[in-house]
Structure formats: C-alpha cells, structure tokens
Chains A and B, each alone.
Chain A
Amino acid sequence: MVGRAAAYARAILRNRHDAEDAVQQAALRAWERIDRYDPSRPFKGWWFAVLRNCCIDIQRVRQPFENLDGQEPVDDRSAATFDWRGLEDALAKLSESHREILRLRYFGDLSYDELAETLDIPRGTVMSRLHLARKALSAVLSKETV
C-alpha cells in the first residue's frame, strides 16, 4: 500500500524526493488523526485522502519555485516508450476531476469503494466518472499517436 501511495504522490509532485516527503508527512498525519478514522469505511480510501492533502500542501509551497520535474534521474525503466511520466503528461490535458480519479485508480490502485471514500462521492458517480475519464484519456493519447 505504501508503494502505491508513493507512486500516487510521485505522479502529482513529479519528483521522487517530494513524493517520499509527502508519504512521510501523510503517515505522521494519519498517525496523529487515527481517532478520526471510521473503521466501518475503507482504510485505504481514508489514507489516500490524507496523502492527497499532503501532496496539495507540498505543491502549494513548491509552486513559486521552479518545476523540479527534470531533477529526478532518468533510469532505464523510465526510458520505456510509455512510462508514468507519459501517462501524467496525458493526464495534464484532462479536467481536474478526471485527472484525479485516474491517478487514484492507476497509481493508487484504489477500488471503487475506496475511490468513493477518498473523493467523497457516491459509488455510482465513481463508476461513470471513471469511465468518462478513461475515454477522455484514450482520446488524448490517440490524438497524440496519430
């Protein structure tokens, strides 16, 4: 679960070090606020909601500075034709709500119930929004490959 959390934070912050900071902050915040967690609801959904807020906080602080995207060393895996950066570049062309649900689904590997918990929306809305988001993303990538 932490590996997925790291992937999600990395996609938002586009930097491994910031992603690591975000996960660390989120773990501490979750630790402090564990009494606010309702055990009848999916833990992963709650945990990702905490992480998402931490990523937003880090992003807000970082915004006035330069984009750190290029600072992460490019390893063999990221040299593949379509890696997480390519996916994130395509996601950047979508609306915020579509981008968010796709990030959580693919980077975070959240189920529909967990997505509903993190985004605070009904399960039915998760289903329709995710479908539309997928279609929008495939349309963006189809245009790029033509």
Chain B
Amino acid sequence: MKPVQPEELSALLDNEVEPRRAQEIQDELDSNKVLRVQFESLKRWDEEFSKAADTAVFAPSVQLPTARTSKVPDVAIELMASVLASFMMLVRVVCKIFDVPELTWGLNSVAFVAMLTATIWLLRTTLRSSETADAIPTGGGS
C-alpha cells in the first residue's frame, strides 16, 4: 500500500478520496496511532471552522432582469416574418398571373420549406434561451 500523505487526511475529511483509497487510509488510521491523532485534530478544527463559517450564511435578495424568451431581437423576428409573408404573397400572385401548374407547385413547395425552416429555427432559439435562463441562480438558501 502507498504510504498515506498528510494532504490525504484532509481529503478524507472532505470525502474527496476515491472509495478504495479511502478504505486504505482508514485501515492505516486504525493501526497507526500517530496518524489517528493527526486526523482527529484535523477533524476537530474542521468542525470548528465549519460551524463558525455557517454563522455567516444569510439569504440575500437577488433580482435578475426579466428572462427573455429569445436571444433574437424582436425587430429581427418581425423583419423575418414580413419577408416570409411578402414571399408567400408573391408566390400567390405569380401563380395567378402565369397559371402554370408546375410553377405553382414548385413555388408553393419552396414557400412551405422556407416557412418550416424558419419555424424550427425560431423554436430552437427560444428553447436554448430558456435553458440558459434556468442555469442562473435566482435566490434562496444554500
């Protein structure tokens, strides 16, 4: 077994040692009185420090800006919507003027794909923004 390093005693105290290594250190503590005294002393101080630090905890009032539902500026969304609406109207007008079934079918398909892509993109952007907002701590105790 690897000899126990002093800093490993601290890590054991903080539950930051791998379970297998923790068991090895524990076995060593059971058989080594000097090491056990060191560990007990560390533990005693640690409890004192923790208790003292806990007296500083309080719940501050933290206010965050209202969560935006989207990172895309409202103007950009409005612009995109008006471009798409204009495009759809243009498709309808062109189809009426020329009265070609192939052209009508083709232009309507393009318009449909453009609309679908735009809708998916807007939905994904909105969802991503909501997830980001959830990651921010917003108050309460520890």
Chain A residues with a Cβ under 8 A of chain B:
1-7, 10-11, 16, 19-20, 23-24, 27-28, 30-31, 34-35, 37, 43, 47, 77-78, 80, 82-84, 86-87, 102, 105-107, 109, 111-112, 127-128, 130-132, 134, 137-138, 141
Contact = CB atoms under 8 A, between A and B. Distances in A.
Contacts of B57: 3-4, 6-7
Interface string B19-50: 00000000000000000000001100110111
A84 B55 contact: yes
A2 B142 contact: yes
Contacts of B14: 105, 111-112, 130
Given A3-B59, A10-B58, A111-B16, A27 B142 contact: no
Interface residues of B, number: 39
Interface of B: 6-11, 14, 16, 41-42, 45-46, 48-65, 132, 135-142
A107 B53 CA distance: 5
A113 B49 CA distance: 20
Given A78-B55, A102-B49, A112-B11, A34 B135 contact: yes
A117 B50 CA distance: 21
B63 A24 contact: yes
Given A2-B142, A27-B62, A31-B65, A84 B53 contact: yes
Contacts of B58: 3, 6-7, 10, 16, 19
Nearest to B15: A111
Contact of A34 (B45, B52, B136, B138): B136
Nearest to A81: B52
Given A2-B59, A127-B7, 6 more contacts: A7-B54, A16-B58, A28-B65, A134-B10, A134-B46, A137-B45
22 contacts: A2-B140, A2-B141, A3-B142, A5-B137, A10-B58, A20-B60, A24-B62, A27-B136, A27-B138, A28-B64, A31-B64, A43-B135, A83-B56, A84-B53, A87-B49, A106-B50, A109-B142, A111-B14, A127-B11, A130-B10, A130-B14, A131-B6
B41 A47 contact: no
